[in-house]
Amino acid sequence: MARDKQGVLVYDFQQERIDIRFGLEEYYGGLHCGETLDVLIDGKWIPTRIEKAADWFLVGIDENISLPGLTVRI
C-alpha cells in the first residue's frame, strides 16, 4: 500500500489519543489501536502500528522514543 500523506504525531488531550498533524489546521482525527503507519527514524521509514497499554506505543519501535514530534506517513 502506498503511503503518501506525511505529518507529525501529536497528543490530543481532549480525545486522549495520538493524532497526526498535517498542517497548521489539518489533523487526521485521532489514531485508533491497530492502525498502521510508517515512522521516520534515523532517516529510514519503518512500518509499524499503534497500540495502547498503559500508554500509547508503536509496535517494534523503541519504547523510550517519545511519540509526539515523530514524522509519520499514512
What's the domain count of the chain?
A: 1
Asked if the structure places residue 29 within a domain, the reply is yes
Task: Judge whether 46 lies within some domain.
Answer: yes
Range of the structural domain that residue 59 is part of: 6-73
Quote the CA–CA distance of 38 and 73 in Å, as a whole number: 5
| Residue-level pLDDT at 1 | 60
Q: What is the CATH number of the domain that holds 57?
A: 2.40.10.390
Predicted pLDDT of residue 63: 85
Per-residue pLDDT at 3: 79
pTM for this predicted structure: 0.92
Query: Which residue in this structure is represented by grid cell 489501536?
Result: 33
53-72 in b/e form (b: 16+ CB < 10 A) is eeebbbeebeeeeebeebeb
The arrangement of strands across the sheet holding 36-41 comes to 17-21, 6-12, 71-73, 36-41, 44-52, 56-58
The answer to whether residue 47 is domain-embedded is: yes
Low-confidence ranges of the chain (pLDDT < 70): 1-2
1 falls within a domain:
no
